[in-house]
Amino acid sequence: MEQTTQGALGRRRIGVPALVFMIIAASAPLTVVGGGVTSNYAVTGLLGIPLSFIVLGIVLLVFAIGYTAMSRHVHNAGAFYAYVAQGLGGGAGVGAAWVALIAYNALQIGVYGMFGFVLSSFLAGTFGLSIPWWVSALAGWVIVGLLGINKVDLSAKVLGIIVALEFLVVIVYDVVAIGAAPEGLTTGSIEPNSLFAAGVGAALVFSIAAFMGFESGAIYNEEVKDPQRTARRATLIAIVIISLFYAFSAWAMAVGEGDSQVIARSAEFGPDLMFVFLEGRVGQWFIVLGNLLFITSVLAALIAFHNVIARYLFAMGREGVLPRALAATNRAQAPVAGSLVQSALAFALIVIFAIAGAGHESGALFPVITLFTWLTNTGAFGLVLLMMLTSFSVIGFFKKREHTESAWVASIAPWLSGIALVALFILIIVNFGVLIGLEEAGLLSWLLPAIVVVPGVLAALWGHSLRRSKPEVYARIGAGAPID
């Protein structure tokens, strides 16, 4: 496959609809409704989970006001990295880049644990095949790797089909659930006192994971059809869709099970609750289709996060912050070097967890309670930290430059979102032990966040030192590529 050492990404390939699908794919709609919402009900014991998506949607829309305004001025495949560099300085940008790399890799590789589990479970239940989770995970790894080195619009088409089918399955579930309504069309789950009670912090932390990936719109700004508008529109549309759709589906679940039963039923059945509910209410073929789409939902998230990581590595290699070989692209104008590096890292960790899980007492659930739970929550922690830094970076960016943005866009909205994200970040730290399944805080609840923060701090110090040691590299940090 032909490569160039300093390539360029494919230009003018992605429109608003395709980018919206790519953003939503990272959040894996069927996985969120089937697994995330039920887990939130079960762990927090709060009825107000639907309202949590509305609250977070408002926070992220306020965040997106400044974030997407900045995207019109900064075109870089390493979005958070570039934004922090442009707003808070090159040193902070390099630190943010390492936080982003670790966080996105943790999210992406952690999802392999869920993919391996659900695919192996499906094959065992449907065909009687006993296949280790790591074999199934590696099958997904091959598909993700092949798409990662092809044209980005191929990934967009695949993700678009998967996401559309996911929405169809969840909508059918929502309609059936509302039709069942054993206690009537209740509104208890969307009343403020159902959310704002003891456990609200954990509920918000669980729900924020459903939005992970919404920020990736700006990462494709070098490849969209209109760099001034596409990413901004797609990001805002995606946040609104994610927030309203998940809130509606979580409410439908409460209605379908009954407000008085949804928490207990979620604790009893977990991610299977949706399909247990549908048994006897829809055709068996639809249950099978739903299970298949649950698998492809997880696969879509793997593809979306893989593409993001490959572009971060490309951006950092192009600017000399990482080896320039990482800026290699191929004939498809895909960031092939970054894609291969991410695939290699994912392969290594799948193998490590496969060895560690051999004969483990948790059996088939091992990849879910370790690889998936540990790494995805670590990744979410890192991305909230990045969003928090980016909010303040927007303020710094517009303060240093002449611009035509209003005070609301350039200052007030970023301040409000920054403060809200600081509060959410603190909630994640306080509740991290709960998120990874610990009954009480232990070494792991501090070690996993440290894996994100410590390299980021060290990288920031190193990045700051480049101002003197390599001023030509420092000057390029976060600069990106010109958009013609």
Tell me the CA distances in angstroms from 183 to 171, 187, 278, one per residue in order: 20, 11, 17
The CA dihedral of 329, 334, 339, 340, to the nearest 10 degrees, is -50
pLDDT computed for residue 8 by the predictor:
55
**Residue 483 domain-assigned (yes or no):** no
Confirm if 263 and 184 have CB atoms less than 8 A apart.
no
DSSP letters for 285-341 = HHHHHHHHHHHHHHHHHHHHHHHHHHHHHHHHHHTTSS-GGGG-EETT---HHHHHH
**Token pair listed for 254:** 């409460």
- pLDDT band at 7; cut points 50, 70, 90: low
**E strands present in 63-114:** none
pLDDT computed for residue 248 by the predictor:
97
Q: State how far the Cα of 218 lies from the Cα of 67, in Å rounded to an integer.
A: 9
Kindly state the average pLDDT of the residues 131-138: 96
Produce one character per residue of 435-449: b if its CB has 16 or more CB atoms within 10 Å, e if not: bbeeeeeeeebeebb
Residue 355 phi, psi dihedral angles, 5° rounding: -65, -45
Q: State how far the Cα of 376 lies from the Cα of 108, in Å rounded to an integer.
A: 8
Name the nearest CA neighbour of 32 among 219, 181, 243: 243
Q: Containing domain of residue 184, as a range?
A: 3-476
Kindly state the average pLDDT of the residues 112-123: 92
Lowest mean pLDDT among 277-281, 448-452, 453-457, 471-475: 471-475
Greater model confidence, 314 or 213:
314
Q: State how far the Cα of 350 lies from the Cα of 463, in Å rounded to an integer.
A: 31
pLDDT value at 462 more than 60 = yes
Q: pLDDT tens digits, residue range 393-413? A: 999 999 988 888 899 999 999
pLDDT cut 70: percent of the chain above it:
92
pLDDT value at 216 more than 70 = no
**Residue 231 domain-assigned (yes or no):** yes
pLDDT computed for residue 76 by the predictor:
63
pLDDT value at 144 more than 50 = yes
pLDDT computed for residue 9 by the predictor:
53
pLDDT value at 13 more than 50 = yes
Q: State how far the Cα of 232 lies from the Cα of 220, in Å rounded to an integer.
A: 11
Widest CA span of the chain, in angstroms? 69
**Residue 481 domain-assigned (yes or no):** no
- pLDDT band at 333; cut points 50, 70, 90: confident
**Residue 484 domain-assigned (yes or no):** no
pLDDT computed for residue 482 by the predictor:
46
Q: State how far the Cα of 375 lies from the Cα of 353, in Å rounded to an integer.
A: 12
**Residue 281 domain-assigned (yes or no):** yes
For residue 336, give the amino acid letter: V
Kindly state the average pLDDT of the residues 55-62: 94
Residues with Cβ within 8 Å of residue 176, at least 6 apart in sequence: 256, 277, 278, 281, 282
215: left (phi over 0), alpha (psi -120 to 50) or beta: alpha
Task: Indicate the average pLDDT of the chain.
Answer: 87
**Residue 224 domain-assigned (yes or no):** yes
**Residue 143 domain-assigned (yes or no):** yes
Q: State how far the Cα of 388 lies from the Cα of 63, in Å rounded to an integer.
A: 9
pLDDT value at 1 more than 50 = no
CATH number reported for the structural domain that contains residue 468 in this entry: 1.20.1740.10
Confirm if 322 and 316 have CB atoms less than 8 A apart.
yes
Q: State how far the Cα of 71 lies from the Cα of 428, in Å rounded to an integer.
A: 27
- pLDDT band at 481; cut points 50, 70, 90: low
**Token pair listed for 480:** 């990106």
**Number of structural domains found in the chain:** 1
3 pairs with which residues across the strands? 330
**Residue 482 domain-assigned (yes or no):** no
Gap between the terminal Cα atoms of the chain: 27
Confirm if 97 and 308 have CB atoms less than 8 A apart.
no
Among 23-27, 219-223, 273-277, name the most confident range.
Answer: 273-277
Kindly state the average pLDDT of the residues 141-167: 82
pLDDT value at 10 more than 70 = no
Q: State how far the Cα of 214 lies from the Cα of 29, in Å rounded to an integer.
A: 12
Q: pLDDT tens digits, residue range 158-186? A: 777 888 888 899 999 999 999 999 999 99
Kindly state the average pLDDT of the residues 290-298: 89
pLDDT value at 11 more than 70 = no
Kindly state the average pLDDT of the residues 306-331: 87
Lowest mean pLDDT among 11-25, 128-142, 326-340, 376-390: 11-25
What is the Cα 17 distance to its own chain's centre? 19
pLDDT computed for residue 439 by the predictor:
74
pLDDT value at 345 more than 60 = yes
**Token pair listed for 251:** 């409410």
282 pairs with which residues across the strands? 279
pLDDT computed for residue 2 by the predictor:
44
pLDDT computed for residue 484 by the predictor:
41
pLDDT value at 451 more than 50 = yes
pTM: 0.86
Kindly state the average pLDDT of the residues 62-72: 88
pLDDT computed for residue 480 by the predictor:
60
pLDDT computed for residue 5 by the predictor:
47
